[in-house]
Structures are given as structure tokens and as C-alpha cells.
Amino acid sequence: MTPADADAYSRSSAAYVHVPFCSSVCPYCDFAVVAGRDDLVDRYIDAVCTEITSSEPWRPLEAIYFGGGTPSHVDPSLLGGVLDTLSLKHGISDEAEVSLEANPEDFDVARATVLRSLGFNRVSFGAQSFDAGVLVALGRRHQAGQIESSLRAAREAGFENVSLDLIYGTPGETTSSWSDTLSRAIDLDPDHISCYALTVESGTPLGRAVRDGAEAPDPDTQADRYESADMVLGAAGHTRYEVSNWSHPGHECRYNLTVWAQGQYEAYGNGSHGYRDGVRFRNIRRIDAYVSAVESDETPRSGNDVVAGWDAEIDRLFVGLRRVVGVAPGPGGTAFLQSESGRRLVDAGVVSLVGGRLTVDRPLLTDEVYRCVLDLEAPHGAPKESTKTAGADIVSMSSDA
């Protein structure tokens, strides 16, 4: 992917739809999810459709991402209803990428065939590991064999764009079990693979267990696992295009490319985050409160940040530096390169400016680069124009659950 190709996604129009239902809540999960509330599914989907219908009309969507939660947990026809509502409201481009997240435990050929006929053309499986012990430690209900059968089911139903999510660094995972997970993932020939370090979030059962003395993931081990993933996946023809994402050429996730190019994306559902017309916004996180707000004709938004001036420039760097192609330096990158911390990171080989692109060359140190970017002072005279309005329920959530 060339820098120009990646930057072109800044003009894309995308939408995220949050589906918070899971069969159980994994102990490490910090997303806006619920388990055991399937009684709410119909009302929730109605609320999402109402939210879509009430939003400002837009141009046809080029990437749509159903994340969660576990979208594949709910009846496909309900997801199809959401797609129909998006189509009526904004239109969906003929070439649009339409993704959903799925769990191997509830995916078979029949479900895959219906989803494909409804318009979904990309599926991302929460595989996490092929090691039975690691799956148990992560609280996952599926077994490694179900990852393989799910992927086969997706192919049989006509999905030509399939992704696997993997987690590394779980206590109990060994070097050989991580190697085995990578090999078995590669053997299935997915088009895209994401690898994330297990993160301990306070407020989760894992966070409480670690606080009470359970073994925490080891950062050095996780760094080794990341480097082995990059090497093994690269050798198998999966090119890394973002800190945690690898794909065969042409199968990069277009929804995420839009987010990382500072492109615009609508967001619907509880806890979802969007960016449109210069405003970053987020919805109420709790599902009951979200549904009640929509049913009462109240806004489900819990906060809006108008991003402009210097803050928009920092925002551009922040999302763009995740990409392997990096960003054009612009005023923010220039200020970064002139700062003491920026010069230090360049001298250490963490960041470089080559061919007019500012890139992070040691992805494991991306967080350190972020800290420096966030500390940058606006140059004298630069407008710092962001304004914030927020409700009481602001909790950050990744759109890539």
C-alpha cells in the first residue's frame, strides 16, 4: 500500500455499528458488552435503526464495520435490517467493505450463507489462540477446531475476505504454543491477521485478579511474541500495514484505514465512537441507558469534541502514525522533529523522516511516540480550537473489539 493509497482513505465515508451481546463476558474484556441479556436484542436493534434514521443524511458508505460484542451472536436477519436502514439513510457503495466480527463458537455454513446473502463480505473471527490452555485462561468458549471449521464455513459461503484476531502474552502461553498458534493461523490462509497483546484493564475480572496477586502478562515476553509474529507473518506473505495488523496485499481493513487516515465514520450503538464533520463523538456506554435514551427521543450521545486547529493536527498524527506508511509531517510533525523528545526518538531510530513521510520504525515503542506527540505545545499563534461537551458516561472503547 502506497502512502497516497493510505491517505486517500481520509476522503472515505464509513460507519461503525456496535452489537454488544456476547454469550459470556471474557475476564479481560473492557468493551461495552453484555451477556445474558438476549431479551434486549430486539429492542436494541430497533434503537440502533432509530438512531441511524435520526442521523444526518450522508453520502454512500464505503466501509461498514459491525463490531462488539459479538455481532454473530444475534440473528443475522436483524443485522440485515440494520444494513437495510443504513442503505436507506446514507446509501451503500457497490464496492463497500461490509465487515462483521464473529466468534468461532457460533459460526457455521448456514449462518455464514445468510450473512453473505445479506451483504456482508468480510468476517473477522475472534480466534485468539489455538492453544487449549490459553483459550481457557482467556475465558473463551470455543476450541481450536472451531476456528478451523468457522473459517472453512466462511469460505464455503463465499467470503473472500476473512480475518483472524490473535492474542499473545497470556500467562501460561509458551514460546512454542505461540509459534504453533501462528503456524496454524497461517495454514488456514486467512486474508488478514491482527495480533494484540493481552492487556490488563482495571475494573475487569482479570484486572482484579492481577491486583490480588495473579500472574500478569510479562511485557518483555510480549515484546518477543510481537517480534516473532512480525517475522513469521511477514515470511508467510502477510505484510504489516499497522502496528497490530497484517494482510495479504489488497486485504487491508478499509474501515480501519479510514479511521487511521482521519477519515470520517458514523457510529451507532452503545459505547460507540465516531468522527464526522470535525466532531469526535461517543455514545452512552450502558446498554439500558442507550436504549432508553433512543426510545425517549433523546440523544444517545454522551459527549462531543469539536476537533479543530492544532488539536486536529495532533489528532492526524496520532491516528496516522499507527500506519506503516506513516504521515506527511505537516506542522505537527515538524514541531515533533524539532522538539527535544522528537530528536531523541529520531536519534534512537524509533522515528524517521524519509521521502517526506514521518514513520515509527520500532512499533513496540509507538506509545512512547504518542506521549511525545501529545506533549507538543501548539506553535505560537496556532489556533487551539477544540471544545468539549460531555455527558456523564464517557468511557473510551476501541472500535475494533
Residues that bind ligand SF4 (CB under 6 A): 22, 25-26, 29, 31, 33, 68-70, 103, 126, 401
Dihedral (C-alpha) 370, 166, 401, 157: value to the nearest 10 degrees? 140
DSSP letter, residue 327: B
Is the Cβ of residue 78 or residue 279 nearer to ligand SF4 in the bound state?
78
Is the Cβ of residue 224 or residue 288 nearer to ligand SF4 in the bound state?
288
Is the Cβ of residue 33 or residue 369 nearer to ligand SF4 in the bound state?
33
Is the Cβ of residue 31 or residue 130 nearer to ligand SF4 in the bound state?
31
Is the Cβ of residue 33 or residue 373 nearer to ligand SF4 in the bound state?
33
Q: In degrees rounded to 5, what are phi and psi of residue 265? A: -150, 130
User: Residue 124 in 3-state DSSP?
Assistant: strand
CA distance 253 to 124: 10
Q: In degrees rounded to 5, what are phi and psi of residue 222? A: -65, -40
As measured in angstroms, the least distance from the Cβ of 35 to ligand SF4 is 7
340 residue type, one letter: E
Is the Cβ of residue 13 or residue 222 nearer to ligand SF4 in the bound state?
222
As measured in angstroms, the least distance from the Cβ of 293 to ligand SF4 is 22
Mark residue 297 as left, alpha or beta (left: phi above 0; alpha: psi -120 to 50; beta: remaining).
Answer: left
Is the Cβ of residue 103 or residue 247 nearer to ligand SF4 in the bound state?
103
How far is C-alpha 238 from the geometric centre of its chain's CA atoms? 18
Is the Cβ of residue 33 or residue 49 nearer to ligand SF4 in the bound state?
33
DSSP 55-122: SPP-SPEEEEEEEES-GGGS-HHHHHHHHHHHHHHT-EEEEEEEEEEE-GGG--HHHHHHHHHHT--E
CA distance 321 to 140: 32
As measured in angstroms, the least distance from the Cβ of 29 to ligand SF4 is 3
Q: In degrees rounded to 5, what are phi and psi of residue 230? A: -60, -40
Composition of the chain by helix, strand, coil, percent to 5: 40, 25, 35
As measured in angstroms, the least distance from the Cβ of 212 to ligand SF4 is 21
As measured in angstroms, the least distance from the Cβ of 90 to ligand SF4 is 26
Is the Cβ of residue 210 or residue 317 nearer to ligand SF4 in the bound state?
210
Asked if 127 and 155 count as a contact pair (C-beta separation under 8 A), the reply is: no
As measured in angstroms, the least distance from the Cβ of 254 to ligand SF4 is 22
Residue 46 in grid coordinates: 430497533
Burial 66-81 (b: 16+ CB within 10 A, else e): bbbbbbbbbebebbbb
As measured in angstroms, the least distance from the Cβ of 103 to ligand SF4 is 6
Is the Cβ of residue 26 or residue 185 nearer to ligand SF4 in the bound state?
26
Asked if 320 and 357 count as a contact pair (C-beta separation under 8 A), the reply is: no
As measured in angstroms, the least distance from the Cβ of 180 to ligand SF4 is 22
As measured in angstroms, the least distance from the Cβ of 36 to ligand SF4 is 12
As measured in angstroms, the least distance from the Cβ of 7 to ligand SF4 is 31
Element of type H or E holding 146: helix 144-156
